[in-house]
Chain A
C-alpha cells in the first residue's frame, strides 16, 4: 500500500488540470483553488442579480409592448443566471444565504459596470450590445473552465446572453436609423457605456492580482488585455454597421499588429467605482438589501409553513415505519 499524502492529492489535481479534465465537487482541490472559485463565482452571481436593476429601471417605461416583453424576459433570465451560479458555487461548500450576506455587507463585489445609471431608453440597447457583449467575450472561455459545475453553468448562460446581446444590438440599430432624436439618444448611450464596458475586463495584465494563478489553474484561459483587445476588434465593425461612433479619438486600425489600437482607459475612475464611489453604488446595494430585508417575513412564512406541513405529512409515515 502506498501512503496517500497531500503531495499525492496535489499531483493528481495538477495532472487532471494539465490534461484538461474537469474538477468535480467531490474531487480534492487546493484550498486556494476553492477560495478563488468561490470568490469569482459569487461575484459573477452577484453581478447577475445587481445587473437586473439598471435594466429593470426601464421595464415600466419601455416604449413598445414588444420591447417591454423582451426586456422583462431578459431581466427574468438574469435572475435565473443568478440562481444557476449560486447553485454552482454551493457545490464548493458555501450557501446562497452566506454569499448574499457577503454581498449585502460589502464583503464581496459585483461587476463595476452596474454602478452606472440607465438614463435613457437607449441605455437598454447599449447594455445589451456592449455590456452583454463584453460579458460574453469574458464568459465563452469559461465554458472550458477547469471546474465542471462552473463550466456547465456557463454553457447555458452564454446561449441566453448571446440572444440578449443580439436583441440589444437590434434595439440600437432601430434607434440609430430612427428619428434624429432617437439617433442622438443612441449615440449618447454608446458614449457613456463604451469606456465602462472596456473596464469590465479588469485591470491591465501587469496589475491583475489573480490572473497568473487563475490561468495556471485553467479557471481563466486568456488575459484581461487579450480579451479586451478581442472585444474592441469585434465592436469596431459593429459600430460602423450601426452608424454610431465609438467615443475614442485614438481608435484606429494597426496594420502591423493586426488589431485596433485604442486610447488609454481611465483606471482612476475604475478604482473609484470599485471602492464604492461610482454613480450608483449606494443605490444598487441599498435596493438589494431592502428587497432582502423587506422580504424576510415572506421567507420566514415559507419556512414556518413548510415545517408545519412536513410535520403533518410525516406523522402517518412515522406510524407505519
Chain B
C-alpha cells in the first residue's frame, strides 16, 4: 500500500477500533439484555473492521497496543466517553450515518478499500438502523428520555464537523457526503421530535483535530487501560 493509503486505513481503522472499545465498556451494564447483545454485536462488527484495516498497514496488535495517543488518527467523536444510554446512542447515530455514507461511496469506487467497504456497509446499515430506532424511541418516548436525547445530541454536535475533513487517499466527494449526512440527521431528529442542535460543528477549541492526532483528555486514560497488559509483557504472544 502507498503511504496515503496507509494513512487512510489508519484513520478508518482507528475509528472502528476506538468506538468498538467504548461499546465494549457497556458489557453487562445495558438497560435491557437485548441491548447487551446489540451493543456487543456492534462492537464486534467494528472490531472486525478495525482488524482488517489495521492489518493492511502492519501488525494489528502493534498498531493497537504500542502506538501512543498522538499517533492515533481516529475522530474525537468516537473516543467520547459513553455517558448515559442517550449519549451512546447519539454518538452511534452521528457516526453510523457517516460511516454508512462513506463506505457506500467507497464500495462503488475501484480503490483499495472497495472490497472491505462493500462488506462493512452491510454491517453498518444495521448499526444505523439500531441508532435511528433508539433515537426515535428516546426522542419521542417520555419527557425524561426526550430531554436526555436532546442533551446528548447537543453535547456531541461540536464533534461532527471533523468527519468531513478530507482523508488523503480516499476518493470521496466530501461536500456531498456532508450534505447527505446533514439531510439524514435532520430527518431522523425530526422523526424523533428533536431539535437540530445549534452551534459550531468544528473549529472550536478541541473539536475536530483527531485526524491530526490531537485528542481529548479521556482518550489517554482509555488507551492506558486498553494497552496496559500488552505493554507489561513486551514481546509476549497471547
Residues of A within 8 A of B (CB): 49, 52-53, 56, 59-69, 72-73, 75-76, 79-80, 82-83, 86, 121, 174-175, 178-179, 181-182, 287, 290-292, 294-305, 308-309
Q: What mask results when residues 153 to 164 of chain B are scored 1 for a CB within 8 Å of chain A, else 0? A: 000000000000
Please judge, given known A-B contacts A63-B238, A65-B47, A305-B136, whether A56 and B33 are in contact too, CB under 8 Å. no
Interface residues of B in 11-32 (CB under 8 A from A): 17, 21, 24-25, 27-32
Given A65-B47, A65-B51, A298-B32, 14 other A-B residues pairs in contact with their CB atoms under 8 A: A60-B226, A63-B233, A64-B238, A72-B43, A174-B238, A179-B235, A291-B30, A291-B31, A294-B31, A295-B31, A298-B31, A298-B35, A300-B142, A301-B142
Q: If A61-B226, A80-B37, A182-B233 touch, does A53 touch B28 (CB 8 Å cutoff)?
A: yes
Report chain A residues within 8 Å CB of B47. Answer: 65, 68-69, 72
Chain A residues near B225 (CB-CB < 8 A): 60-61
Binding site for A on B (CB under 8 A): 17, 21, 24-25, 27-37, 40-41, 43-44, 47-48, 50-51, 54, 60-61, 64-65, 84-85, 136-138, 140-142, 144-145, 148, 225-226, 228-230, 233, 235-238
| Contact indicator B237/A174 (Cβ below 8 Å) | yes
Contact call B229/A61, Cβ cutoff below 8 A: yes
Which partner residue on chain B sits nearest A177 by CB separation? B237
Residues of B within 8 A of A178 (CB): 236-238
Cβ–Cβ < 8 Å partners of A301 in chain B: 137-138, 141-142, 144-145
CA distance A304 to B137 in the complex (A): 8
CA distance A174 to B238 in the complex (A): 6
Residues of A within 8 A of B29 (CB): 287, 290-291, 294
27 pairs across A/B with beta carbons < 8 Å?
A56-B27, A59-B25, A59-B27, A60-B24, A61-B226, A63-B65, A63-B229, A64-B230, A64-B238, A65-B17, A68-B24, A76-B37, A79-B33, A121-B229, A178-B237, A179-B236, A181-B233, A291-B28, A291-B31, A292-B31, A294-B29, A294-B84, A297-B144, A298-B32, A300-B144, A300-B145, A301-B137
Max count, chain B CB within 10 A of own CB: residue among A62, A79, A179, A301: A301
- Tell me if B36 and A76 are in contact (CB < 8 A): yes
A82 to B, closest residue via Cβ = B33
A60 vs chain B, min Cβ distance (A): 5
CA of A304 to CA of B40, assembled, Å: 25
Are B61 and A64 touching (Cβ within 8 A)? yes
- Inside 8 A of A175's CB, which chain B residues have their CB? 238
Which of A72, A121, A298 interacts with B85 by CB under 8 Å? A298
Contact A75 B28 (CB under 8 A): yes
Q: How far is the CA of A75 from the CA of B225 in the complex (A)?
A: 19
Report A45 CB to chain B, min CB distance, Å. 10
What residues of B have a CB within 8 angstroms of the CB of A56 in the complex? 27-28
Contacting pair A297 B37 (CB below 8 A):
no
